[in-house]
A and B are shown apart, each in its own frame.
Chain A
Amino acid sequence: MSDENDKMLSDAELKALYLAKATEQPSSELDARILAMAQRRLDEQHLNEQGLNEQQLAEQESEGADKQSGSANVIQVSFWRRYRWPMSTAASVLLLSSLLLMNLNGPNPIDEQVRPMLASEPQPMRMAAPPEQQEPKVQLGPSAQADVDAPEMASPQAVTMMSRKAPADLKTEVKRDTQPEEQTDEQAKLESLTPNEAEVKTQAKAVISDIQAVNHLQQLVDAELWPDADTLYQRLLKERPRLEDSSHPQHAQWRELVNQIKAHRQDN
């Protein structure tokens, strides 16, 4: 046994014996294949770098040298592709905002177009306050400006009529409610007319307003509200001088009212 142990190899001898037979090598074909693979990879890398360099040069020419700080390994993507999510979000927000603003602002131009036309019209629907609250206001006496803006509403009779709405009045009110749209259409039609036709239409409107104004004055005289009637007379005289024209359809009524007002002024 001891002889056998004496004959046992040491680690160094074992290694030497192993290395003596460690002579296998890959075939030269395999070597060539692997070296060619390595060379091919270098060629591809070179081509990629060349392609990237050309692309970078092109971008440098178009965008300027300040944006060219990336290495050759960085893949350049277009601006729209790179920021596609922020751009998409911004576009969506812009679209929604535009729609919202259009919806909010849409009715306003119509109101602005309609408002001047409604200036001489009675506006019962705009009065949200109940009739009980309206009457004291009227009792205090309408201002001259209110008279011009809404002659019918300024008179107590008109307010009384408004506070006691009959079914027929309700129908009228429904009509008036739809009036803005109709007037908008009329405004559009006016715009589409020739200048002469438009002038005729405007004159017709003015005559209607004169009728309403004279009627308002008539109501004040009938109610014997002489100070108010006198004030309205002075204003109408300034703002509607055509009522003095003898050819005006309301001229006769106007003269009669003026005489009554003047007579009452002289009595006082």
Chain B
Amino acid sequence: MDMHREPSVTKVSEDDVVKDPDQTLMMQYAQGDQGAFEQLYHKHKGGLYRYFKRQLGDGALAEDLYQETWSRVIKAAAGYEQRAKFTTWLYRIAHNLLIDHVRALKPVDSLSDPAGDEQPLEAVIPSDESGPDDQLEDEQKASILKDCISLLPHVQKEAFLLNVEMGFTAAAIGEIAGVGMEATKSRIRYANQALKACVQQKWQEQSNVR
């Protein structure tokens, strides 16, 4: 495996913007097609929901902000313009809401606290009875990764989630978060490195416990 590969970032071309099917759906909804909105919603609901849930940990607050984001999308539908990709616009709204509602109230570090409703690390440690097959190992590592993500600094966590979850490029993430592309690349790189180290470390600790 390539251990030090750069995060996969792809350039956004103007064709992507022009041919964005999400924009088409949005325009159709603006013209009165409820079915178009339902398609759009079902396509993006999981990613957007996890964007809030993974960053906030607080399920109720995540749901409030998630609903507020869609509310703003609905209200803005009439004046929606094809300036950027729909997903970039959507997550820009989400990012701003997150900043407005959370950062103003809480110190930034608190965003990095482990989620309260996350499964405790011990719970993912396999019991002596369980067999060490690969599938189980991946599942255990995935649980460890989820826990490690919650430990990341907020800016790295956001960059990682947008990159891995939505496949956003560094440029798009920079546009959403309002930072430069190089800074965004660094955040993604540091986040990947930190997560790999965290998963490795916790996996070793679990192995030692066993």
Contacts and interface: CB of A to CB of B under 8 A. Distances in A.
Q: Do A and B come from one complex?
A: yes
Interface in A1-29: 4-5, 7-22, 24-27
A49 to B, nearest CB: 9
B49 A25 contact: yes
B63 A26 contact: yes
How many residues of A sit at the interface, in one of the four size bands? 35 or more
B41 A17 contact: no
A8 B67 contact: no
A58 interface: no
Contact of A22 (B5, B50, B143): B50
A125 interface: no
Interface in B3-62: 3, 5, 7-8, 29, 32, 34, 37-38, 41, 45-46, 49-50, 53
Given A26-B66, A31-B41, A41-B75, A8 B196 contact: yes
B5 A10 contact: yes
Given A9-B196, A14-B145, A30-B66, A24 B3 contact: no
B71 A37 contact: yes
A46 interface: yes
B45 A25 contact: yes
Interface in A116-138: none
A86 B141 CA distance: 75
30 contacts: A4-B204, A8-B197, A8-B200, A9-B195, A10-B1, A10-B5, A11-B5, A13-B1, A14-B164, A14-B192, A14-B196, A17-B142, A20-B138, A20-B142, A21-B142, A24-B49, A24-B50, A25-B45, A26-B45, A30-B67, A31-B41, A33-B67, A34-B41, A34-B70, A35-B34, A37-B74, A38-B70, A38-B74, A41-B74, A42-B29
Interface of B: 1-3, 5, 7-8, 29, 32, 34, 37-38, 41, 45-46, 49-50, 53, 63, 66-67, 70-71, 74-75, 77-78, 138-139, 141-143, 145-146, 149, 164-165, 192, 195-197, 199-200, 203-204
